[in-house]
């Protein structure tokens, strides 16, 4: 039951907000020893909110210039980096210092720079670079966020990047960019998902909306047992089959083209939906869960993995980032775990529970079961 609004609580909040809004109070709080720490943290948090786009573009510049790969070879002087990046030395230094301030690089003796923790982490995750590159489309759609919220940005750039969001199947050419992006970023999450999913008793797993097969490839490398089927839109399933053949898995994973809005093939005793449900509005998402329920045998298993709204410690990832990303894409919304449990029950699943993952910010996992016979 939602909490009952209390007049006292509302009045207290209004008083507190008037106080915090007052420039005199802000000045006092920034100097008073007991409130100084809080005031500085809030000032910084507010500044970070204002400056987020600039920070993101510093990162984009580093990625476009291949700076992290260059420094993965070892630290380099500002002069050498300026030559290699083809930047005027003063601007190379400006970029390097900006990246240092953001925890990406580390300034070293002898006017050199090397990787700091965040820069080093980026070298091992090419998916992040791909994500940052395609953000140019998202930022163009967000240039006037109020127009976007009012539905006046049509068509959005992201809706052409993700043709299925506008109900289109796409062709080999139009699905290639998102297929590549999903494949590159899947490495970040497949292992976290598989760490918590017990597939020991699964005979046949079908990954619905499986993209170019990166998730099933990770399953195949871990589990020799289950038969594996990828289901995605026909042009995506074709690309998946080609890619999986190139990595020697054509005999292990079969690829089926189709549209899950028209139902799902039967035969699998487990279905995975990795980063799928959040892409769809409530009606189609519930229909898809019902289709998964209908396709499973009694006792069958559904694994739903995606970033969720309201994740403790990562609320802006779901509610702000994915909330606005999916708005620009034109379909779907981030959902709270409780909402997904309710949808799974409405789709007919007898039980569902969350399996705690290592990095819930990237993905959380819900395991649901169809009533056993």
Ligand X SMILES: C[S@@+](CC[C@H](N)C(=O)[O-])C[C@H]1O[C@@H](n2cnc3c(N)ncnc32)[C@H](O)[C@@H]1O
Binding site for ligand X (CB under 6 A): 164, 182, 186, 209-211, 214-215, 232-233, 236, 259-261, 274-276, 279
Class of residue 149 by CB neighbours under 10 A (exposed 0-12, middle 13-18, buried 19+): exposed
Structure tokens at 122: 């980026």
Residue placing its CB nearer to ligand X in the complex, 39 or 182: 182
Whether 265 and 258 have beta carbons less than 8 Å apart is answered as yes
**Tokens read off for 312:** 């403790």
Structure-block tokens of residue 315: 């609320």
CA-to-CA distance for 86 and 105, rounded, in angstroms? 19
Q: What angle do CA 339, 340, 346 make, to 5 degrees?
A: 90
User: Minimum distance between the CB of residue 184 and ligand X, rounded to whole angstroms?
Assistant: 9
Q: Which residues of 305-341 are buried (b: 16+ CB within 10 A; e: fewer)?
A: bbbbbebeebeebbbeebebbbbbbbbbbbbebebbb
154: its two tokens: 């049509």
Give the nearer residue to ligand X in terms of CB position, either 272 or 311. Answer: 272
Give the C-alpha separation, 364 to 273, whole Å: 12
CB atoms within 10 A of CB 293: 21
Task: DSSP letter for 74, please.
Answer: -
| C-alpha to C-alpha distance for 118 and 110, rounded to whole angstroms | 22
Shortest-Cβ-distance residue relative to ligand X: 209
Minimum CB separation from ligand X for residue 68, in Å? Answer: 23
The CB-of-308 to ligand X minimum distance in angstroms stands at 14
Q: In this complex, which beta carbon is closest to ligand X, that of residue 114 or of residue 234?
A: 234
d(CA 89, CA 59): 19
Q: Which is nearer to ligand X, 260 or 322 (CB)?
A: 260
CB of 235 to ligand X, least distance (A): 8
Q: What are phi and psi of 289, to 5 degrees?
A: -65, -35
Q: CB atoms < 10 A from the CB of 67, how many?
A: 26
CB of 277 to ligand X, least distance (A): 10
Q: How far is the CB of 233 from ligand X (least distance, A)?
A: 5
Cβ pair 211, 187 in contact under 8 A: no
Return the number of the residue (76 or 206) whose C-beta is nearest ligand X: 206
Question: What is the smallest separation between the CB atom of 305 and ligand X, expressed in angstroms?
Answer: 8
CB nearer to ligand X: give 81 or 363: 363
Q: How near is the Cβ of 273 to ligand X at its closest, in Å?
A: 8
Q: Of 119 and 211, which CB lies nearer to ligand X in the complex structure?
A: 211
Output 83 or 261, the one with its CB closest to ligand X: 261
């Amino acid at each position: 039951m939602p909490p009952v609004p209390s007049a006292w609580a509302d009045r207290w909040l209004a008083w507190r907000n008037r106080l915090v809004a007052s420039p005199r109070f802000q000045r006092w709080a920034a100097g008073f020893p007991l409130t100084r720490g809080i005031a500085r943290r809030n000032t910084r948090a507010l500044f970070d909110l204002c400056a987020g786009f600039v920070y993101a573009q510093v990162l984009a510049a580093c990625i476009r210039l291949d700076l992290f790969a260059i420094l993965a070879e070892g630290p380099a002087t500002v002069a050498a980096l300026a030559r290699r990046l083809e930047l005027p030395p003063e601007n190379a230094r400006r970029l390097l210092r900006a990246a240092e301030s953001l925890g990406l690089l580390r300034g070293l003796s002898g006017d050199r720079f090397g990787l700091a923790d965040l820069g080093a982490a980026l070298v091992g995750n090419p998916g992040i670079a791909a994500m940052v590159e395609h953000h140019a489309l998202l930022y163009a759609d967000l240039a006037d966020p109020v127009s976007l919220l009012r539905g006046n940005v049509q068509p959005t750039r992201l809706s052409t990047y993700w043709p299925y969001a506008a109900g289109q199947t796409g062709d080999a050419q139009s699905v290639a960019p998102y297929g590549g992006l999903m494949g590159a970023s899947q490495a970040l999450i497949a292992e976290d998902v598989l760490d918590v999913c017990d597939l020991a008793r699964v005979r046949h797993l079908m990954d619905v909306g499986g993209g170019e097969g990166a998730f099933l490839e990770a399953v195949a490398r871990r589990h020799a047992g289950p038969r594996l089927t990828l289901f995605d839109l026909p042009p995506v399933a074709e690309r998946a089959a080609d890619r999986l053949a190139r990595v020697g898995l054509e005999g292990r994973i079969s690829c089926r083209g189709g549209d899950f809005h028209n139902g799902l093939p039967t035969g699998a005793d487990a279905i995975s939906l990795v980063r799928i449900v959040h892409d769809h509005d409530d009606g189609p998402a519930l229909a898809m869960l019902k289709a998964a329920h209908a396709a499973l045998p009694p006792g069958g298993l559904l694994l739903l993995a995606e970033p969720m709204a309201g994740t403790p410690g990562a609320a802006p990832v779901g509610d702000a980032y994915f909330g606005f990303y999916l708005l620009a894409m034109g379909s779907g919304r981030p959902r709270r775990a409780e909402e997904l449990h309710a949808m799974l029950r409405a789709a007919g699943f007898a039980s569902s529970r969350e399996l705690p993952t290592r990095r819930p910010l990237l993905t959380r996992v819900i395991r649901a079961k169809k009533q056993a016979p």
